[in-house]
Amino acid sequence: MTSIHSCRRVSALFATSALAMAAVVTAATAQEKITLTFANWASAEAATRPGIEKVIADFEAANPNIEIESEAISFSEIARQLVLRVRSGNPPDVSQLAGNDTFLLAATGKLEPLDEYVARLDVELTGLEDLRLDSKLIALPWNHAPAGLWYNKAIMEEAGLDPENPPKTIDELMEAMAAVKESQPDVIPLGLDTTNRAFSMSSNWPWMRTFGAQPVGEGATGAESPEMKAYLQWMRDLAQKGYIDPGRKIGEFRPLAAQDKVAFHWDQVLLQGVIQSTNGMSDEEFYEHWGVAAMPTGPGGESHSFEGGHQLVMFADSEKKEAAWKFMQYLATSPDAIANYTVSYNSSLPPLQEAPEALSEELDTPIFNAFRERIIPTVAPQPYGPDFAAASTAVMAGVQQAVTGTEPIDDIAASVQSQLDRQ
C-alpha cells in the first residue's frame, strides 16, 4: 500500500510539474507570438482576396510565432488613411502601396529605409532605383505591372482589321478606332482613365510623353507648350469622335473588356487575371482572344509606359521590424508567394532578376513575354511626390475640360499653367 501511495504521490507530482511546465511553455509561447498589422487592398478586392489570404496563411504556418492581422482598405483610400494614421501615431507595421502614394507616404518621413534589409537578400531585385528618395530605398518592389495597349482580336477582326497587327502609331490607332466605331457602335474603341486623380495622371503621362509633353518635373515643357496643346487636342478629338468614355476609372473598363465591349484598352499586365476571373476564360482562350503591344508612337517616334506595380513599405514606428521584414521578404521573393499570388491572382511579374526555375513555365506566356521584351523597356520614372499629387489635380482638370467642354485648347492650357504656377 505504501508503495502504491508513493507511486500515486510521484504521479501526482509529475502531473503537477507537467501542468506547470505546460503553463510555462504556453505563457512563453504567448509572449513570443508577434502580431503584425498589414494594410492592403489585395484583401479588399474580390479578384485577389483568395490569393492574399492563402499566402498569409502559408506564411503563418511556416512562421508560427508570427500572426498577420490583415487590414482591408480600398486602393483609392489607402494613402489618405495611412497619412492620417501616421499623423496620429498609429500606423500599421507593413502596407501595400503603389505609384505616387508610395512617395506621398515617404514624404512624411515615417517609412523605414530598407537598404540594409535588402542587402541581406540572396536574390537580385529589379526596380529598386525607382524607389529611392534622397538616396534611401523607401519601398520593396512586390510586383511589376506596367501598362500596355491591350487589343481584342475578335473586335478587330469584325471591324475588318488584322487581329495580329495592332496599331503601331497614333495615326494607325485613330484609323482602327474609326473602323471599330463604324462596325460596332456599342463597343468603346479605347478604354482610357480620364478621372481627376494622381493615378490617372500617371496613366496618362505616357500619352503626354508620346506627344513630347511634360507638364511638370525636371525638364518640364509646361502646360502651354505646343506639345501639351497637341495632347489636349488629341484627347478632345477622342471624345468628340466617341472613341473614349470620359469619367470612367481604369478598373471600371475591366468588366466591360471581359464582355467584349472594349476594343483597345490602356491597362496594366494584371488585366489578364481580371478578365479571366470575370468571364472564366482559360489561358488558351485568352491568348486567342487578347493581345498586348507597346503604346503606339506619336510625333516623337517613341513608345512610353508607366510602372503600376505594387510595393511593400515598413513603417519606422513599427516595434517588430525583423518580423515585418520577414513577411515582406516572403511576399516579394518566396517562390510559393510568387506562384500563389503574384502570378496566379495578381497576374503580374515578380521583381526578380532571375525567376525561380520552378516558375519558368508559368512566366513563359505570350502576355508576360510581350511585357518583358517590348513594354518594360519603354517604362520611364515619373516625378512622384507631393508636388506631383498637387499638379495632377490641375493637369487632369484640364484634361477633363478638353474632353467634355468646348473651351479653346489655348485657354485650357493657360488655365492649367496658371494653377501650376500657384503651387
d(CA 215, CA 382): 11
Q: Which cell numbers hold the place of 218?
A: 525636371
Query: What's the pLDDT at 29?
Result: 52
Most distant pair of Cα atoms in the chain: their distance: 109
d(CA 356, CA 71): 30
Query: What's the pLDDT at 6?
Result: 39
Query: What's the pLDDT at 8?
Result: 41
What's the N-to-C CA distance of the chain in angstroms? 94
CA distances from 354 to 60, 331, 365 (A): 26, 16, 16
Q: How many residues does the chain have?
A: 423
Closest by CA position to 95, among listed 115, 63, 72: 72
Q: How many CB atoms lie within 10 A of CB 390?
A: 16
pLDDT by residue for the chain (423 residues), tens digit each?
A: 333 343 344 344 434 444 444 444 444 455 589 999 999 999 999 889 999 999 999 999 999 999 999 999 999 999 999 999 999 999 999 999 999 999 999 999 999 999 999 999 999 999 999 999 999 999 999 999 999 999 999 999 999 999 999 999 999 999 999 999 999 999 999 999 999 988 999 999 999 999 999 999 988 989 999 999 999 999 999 999 999 999 899 999 999 999 999 999 999 999 999 999 899 999 999 999 999 999 999 998 999 999 999 999 999 999 999 999 999 999 999 999 999 999 998 899 999 998 888 888 889 999 999 999 999 999 988 999 888 989 999 999 999 999 999 999 999 999 999 999 987
Query: What's the pLDDT at 10?
Result: 38
Query: What's the pLDDT at 381?
Result: 87
CA dihedral 150, 154, 158, 163 (to 10 degrees): 60
Segment holding 210, helix H or strand E: helix 198-210
Phi-psi region of 94 (alpha: psi -120 to 50; beta: other; left: phi over 0): beta
Q: Which cell numbers hold the place of 172?
A: 494607325
Query: What's the pLDDT at 187?
Result: 98
Query: What's the pLDDT at 3?
Result: 38
Query: What's the pLDDT at 30?
Result: 52
CA distances from 401 to 222, 251, 369 (A): 17, 22, 38
Strands (E), 61-119: 66-72, 94-98
CA dihedral 107, 110, 115, 121 (to 10 degrees): -120
Query: What's the pLDDT at 358?
Result: 86
Contact between residue 307 and residue 379 where contact means Cβ atoms under 8 Å apart = yes
